[in-house]
Amino acid sequence: MGTTLRKKERQKLLKEYIEKEPFVTDERLAKHFNVSVQTIRLDRLALGIPQVRERVKSVAEEIYEPLRSLQQSELVGDLLDVQLEQGGLSVLDINESMVFKKNKITRGHHLFAQANSLAVAVVDAEVALTGSARVRYLKPVLLGDRVVAKATVKYKRDNKYLVQIISKVNDEMVFKGQFIVFATKY
């Protein structure tokens, strides 16, 4: 900052700053706004912003609980040959419950679920989370078909993985997807 601002303006900026950078301490904030640590504390108090440890904890908790519940959701398909951080294979046999009665075509979300499960399994982590997915359904999959999904980790940066999934029935591609999966330590 350098310059000293008035109270109102500073508090507005302070709020924005903490929203963007929630893990910052009062000391760093004091330096940034060129005021004392006490002033920052009064500001936080006035704005109802909790201390940095509370902020960190709330982010961790809010995220951790859904992650855990996602993790518990069962695996779709049988995993074969998973090489962590590289790729893997999963097999799903299409049964009566997965298809539309009328035409015996598999409901799309089963293929999605198989692919998603595999993408998550391939990532080497206690807990993994699908950030986003782009999927394409290429051919209808029918009752009795055996769907073989193949995962390839396209790239990894930090704890972010891009996993490509190609699902085939009798060597014919039926589904293709790219999943961005995040890994976390705990």
- Residues between 167 and 186 that touch its own copies (CB under 8 A): 178, 182, 184-186
Question: Is 140 in contact with 160 (CB distance < 8 Å)?
Answer: no
User: Quick check: 12 binds DNA (CB under 7 A)?
Assistant: no
85 binds its own copies (CB under 8 A): no
By C-beta, is 7 or 57 nearer to its own copies? Answer: 57
**Of 16, 27, 65, 85, which one interacts with DNA (CB under 7 A)?**
27
Q: Give the total of residues touching its own copies (CB under 8 A).
A: 44
- Which residue bears the tokens 């590289």? 86
Burial of 88 (0-12, 13-18, 19+ CB in 10 A): buried
Smallest distance from DNA to CB 38, Å = 4
Joined tokens for residue 81:
């040959």
Kindly state whether residue 18 participates in binding DNA, applying the rule CB under 7 A.
no
CA-to-CA separations, 116 to 20, 29, 72, 96, 131, in angstroms, rounded: 31, 41, 14, 21, 11
Stretch of residues binding its own copies (CB under 8 A), selected from 19-27, 28-36, 76-84, 162-170: 19-27
- Report d(CA 7, CA 126) in Å as an integer: 46
Tokens (6 digits) for 97: 């419950």
Q: Which amino acid is at 13?
A: L
Summarize as ranges the residues that interact with its own copies (CB under 8 A). Answer: 18-19, 22-23, 53, 55-67, 69-70, 107-109, 112-113, 116, 126, 129-137, 158-160, 178, 182, 184-186
Summarize as ranges the residues that interact with DNA (CB under 7 A). Answer: 4, 6-7, 10, 25-27, 35-36, 38-39, 41-42, 44-45, 50-53
